[in-house]
């Protein structure tokens, strides 16, 4: 039994194996209707709880569909409707749920909630986003890059905007998959220094660059995310926009990257804010492949967690 909590705490060889399995499962399904079950049913007789303490479209649907394709069943639970949202402890919730279900995916607030759940649960726990990380997203991103352009190892990836939860997982992935990472954003929104330390300890180059045009020179991949995350106070919106407007991914910025550079965004996007529609809908954008690959990557993550 494995927990999938964060990219820097998961073995790099296992992460590579998950991506490879995701790709082969995707290939095996080619041309089938989306509701078609996978030929082998590795999650048959498995019940998976999907807990959401924040909104979600992709994570919710891709986990639910992924479990069903593999022959399992899901319970989609909203944190606010559980006793969890009304004072029951995480530890007790973990112990109770472990008596009913075979695996738990949770989208929550503090990373400590995820870790407490994993500590007290007897079943695998998967991180479906916290305030500090979004590892399932980045597994899909690595898969998507490699599907289009081959190995990500040695490539230059540029993150523009807020050094947020998704950015942290991307920096962890830089260390684990061996790509260089440039962060382009203002100092006040710099990414987690511990994540940077981790990636550098693995021998990759992590660069902080305040000038977006300079940052994207020679980039193989540009990645953006919302400027205001779900856990951020909405009162920061105007200030964030003023701080981040020079980091918008538009055609002029993308033109500074390599000719074959790709653009990714975990979605949901705010068109004409962090990215223009011309980039999102343009030839270098792979955002919908990226969204699709959440399904395939997470199916492989769940198999790895359960060892099936």
With CB under 6 A as the contact rule, which of the stretches 3-11, 12-20, 237-245, 262-270 interacts with ligand CP? Answer: 262-270
Contact, 43 vs 70, CB < 8 A? yes
Q: Can you tell me the distance from the alpha carbon of 104 to that of 102, in angstroms, rounded to the nearest whole number? A: 7
**CB-facing half-sphere around the CA of 97: CA atoms within 13 A:** 32
Nearest to ligand NVA of 98, 130 (CB atom): 130
What crossing angle do the helices spanning 165-177 and 12-29 adopt, rounded to 10°? 100
Nearest to ligand CP of 55, 151 (CB atom): 55
Among 98, 108, 137, 144, binds ligand CP (CB under 6 A): 137
For residue 133, state whether it binds ligand NVA (rule: CB under 6 A): no
Nearest to ligand NVA of 70, 264 (CB atom): 264
For residue 57, state whether it binds ligand CP (rule: CB under 6 A): yes
Q: How far is the CB of 147 from ligand CP (least distance, A)?
A: 18
Task: List helix spans (H) across 248-286.
Answer: 251-255, 277-280
The DSSP code sequence of 45-69 is T-EEEEEESS--SHHHHHHHHHHHH
For residue 285, state whether it binds ligand CP (rule: CB under 6 A): no
For residue 59, state whether it binds ligand CP (rule: CB under 6 A): yes
Residue whose CB is nearest to ligand NVA in the complex, by number = 229
Q: Can you tell me the distance from the alpha carbon of 162 to that of 220, in angstroms, rounded to the nearest whole number? A: 20
Torsion of CA 10, 12, 17, 22, to 10 degrees: 70
Catalytic, 210? Answer no
Nearest to ligand NVA of 24, 188 (CB atom): 188
For residue 56, state whether it binds ligand CP (rule: CB under 6 A): yes
With CB under 6 A as the contact rule, which of the stretches 56-64, 116-124, 144-152, 203-211 interacts with ligand CP? Answer: 56-64
Contact, 125 vs 104, CB < 8 A? yes
Q: In the complex, which residues of this chain contact ligand NVA (CB under 6 A)?
A: 164-166, 225-226, 229-230, 266
């Amino acid at each position: 039994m494995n927990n999938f909590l964060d990219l820097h705490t998961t073995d790099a060889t296992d992460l590579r194996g998950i991506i490879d399995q995701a790709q082969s499962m995707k290939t095996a399904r080619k041309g089938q209707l989306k509701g078609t079950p996978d030929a082998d049913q590795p999650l048959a007789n498995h019940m998976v709880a999907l807990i959401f303490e924040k909104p979600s479209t992709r994570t919710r649907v891709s986990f639910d569909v992924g479990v069903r394709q593999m022959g399992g069943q899901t319970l989609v639970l909203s944190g606010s409707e559980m006793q969890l949202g009304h004072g029951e402890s995480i530890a007790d919730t973990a112990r109770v749920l472990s008596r009913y279900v075979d695996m738990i995916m949770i989208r929550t607030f503090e990373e400590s909630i995820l870790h407490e759940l994993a500590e007290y649960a007897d079943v695998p726990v998967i991180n479906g986003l916290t305030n500090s990380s979004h590892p399932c997203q980045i597994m899909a991103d690595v898969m998507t890059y490699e599907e289009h352009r081959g190995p990500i190892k040695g490539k230059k990836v540029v993150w523009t905007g807020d050094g947020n939860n998704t950015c942290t997982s991307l920096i962890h992935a830089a260390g684990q998959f061996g790509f260089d990472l440039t962060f382009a954003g203002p100092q006040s929104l710099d990414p987690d220094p511990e994540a940077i330390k981790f990636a550098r300890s693995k021998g990759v180059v992590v660069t902080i660059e305040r000038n977006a045009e300079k940052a994207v020179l020679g980039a193989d991949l540009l990645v953006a995310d919302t400027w205001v995350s779900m856990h951020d106070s909405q009162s920061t919106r105007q200030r964030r926009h003023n701080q981040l407007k020079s980091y918008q991914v538009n055609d002029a910025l993308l033109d500074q990257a390599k000719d074959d550079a790709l653009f990714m965004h975990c979605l949901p996007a705010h068109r004409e804010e962090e990215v223009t529609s011309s980039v999102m809908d343009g030839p270098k954008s792979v955002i919908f492949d990226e969204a699709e690959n959440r399904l395939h990557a997470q199916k492989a993550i769940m198999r790895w967690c359960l060892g099936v």
